A and B are shown apart, each in its own frame.
Chain A
């Protein structure tokens, strides 16, 4: 626990508020079967893939890129996820396999003796 309970609750509420806005917005903006403007439909189509790219990089921001092992365990585990997903296309298998490989790598091969 790094935050106080009040701060934690504030984060939870902030996350909930942000999430809820995304759910209600279209129903507020287009109460009847009014056609949404083209730019909204466009963003609704292109934002999801772009956000996944953002989230992947965001997750890797704390990896050691400039010092050893230069992100090697992260890149190896991502390669495992990609290969597993290409091979079987099973979401849970890809996640579990990649995570297991990553845990193995950071706990043995790349263990910095933390």
Chain B
């Protein structure tokens, strides 16, 4: 978990630096925006025309998986009172995968255990980003093409979903609808693509539900 966070966080800080955003900006984005892959996508938003509405909608769609995580953690986080605030604020893929598979050890309070997992994950990510941003201002190698790390990340995540045959139709819908939106709308593909995907998923619900 630590290595994964360190590498992706470092790469994020480096990429932000390569796009002219120093360690302060990348760390700020990690601390406030905290959302792994969405932060990578946001690099594109930071270097194109100013469009906060698109950023907002995109963040909801990209992070829609959190809704699913939240639904399955409703029970585990029940009755934790104020501790739920930081737990929900920092809910991430890594925290979810850990909390949903590992039970709190004997003698350890459930609240402290969940809080420790969430806050450690959060601080790893923020620190790694800051390090990446600082390193990026020291390194001077040719970073042309390093953006591809983002594409590669999504290809890998796509492949992880692809392992389960029941995910494949939805994955193909995602690719097909977005290619269609790209052909029709060029640079403004994002929102039409999301509409196409929702329509296709809801329209094909009976077939996909099997």
Contacts and interface: CB of A to CB of B under 8 A. Distances in A.
Interface residues of A, number: 71
B179 A57 contact: yes
Interface residues of B, number: 94
Contact of B61 (A23, A51, A95): A51
Interface string A30-74: 100100100111111111111111111111110000000000011
Contact of B155 (A40, A54, A98): A98
A27 B175 CA distance: 30
Contact of A26 (B41, B63, B71): B71
A82 B160 CA distance: 11
A19 B35 contact: yes
A66 to B, nearest CB: 11
Contact of B158 (A19, A43, A49, A86): A49
Contacts of B177: 50, 53-54
Contacts, number: 270
Given A51-B65, A53-B173, A77 B32 contact: no
Interface string A79-111: 001100110000110111011001101110000
B199 to A, nearest CB: 11
Given A14-B55, A42-B205, A103-B146, A95 B67 contact: no
Given A15-B56, A77-B152, A98-B152, A22 B63 contact: yes
Contact of A99 (B52, B88, B152, B193): B152
Given A3-B50, A53-B174, A92 B4 contact: yes
Contacts of A40: 67, 71
B183 to A, nearest CB: 10
Given A19-B66, A20-B89, A27-B70, A49 B162 contact: yes
A103 B53 CA distance: 32
Interface of B: 3-4, 7, 19-21, 25, 28-29, 32-35, 37-39, 41-42, 44-48, 50, 52-53, 55-68, 70-71, 74-75, 77-78, 84, 88-89, 91, 142-146, 148-159, 161-162, 167-168, 170-179, 182, 186-187, 189-190, 193-194, 197, 201-202, 205, 208-209
Given A56-B175, A98-B155, 8 more contacts: A10-B50, A27-B74, A47-B61, A53-B176, A59-B151, A77-B148, A77-B151, A107-B142
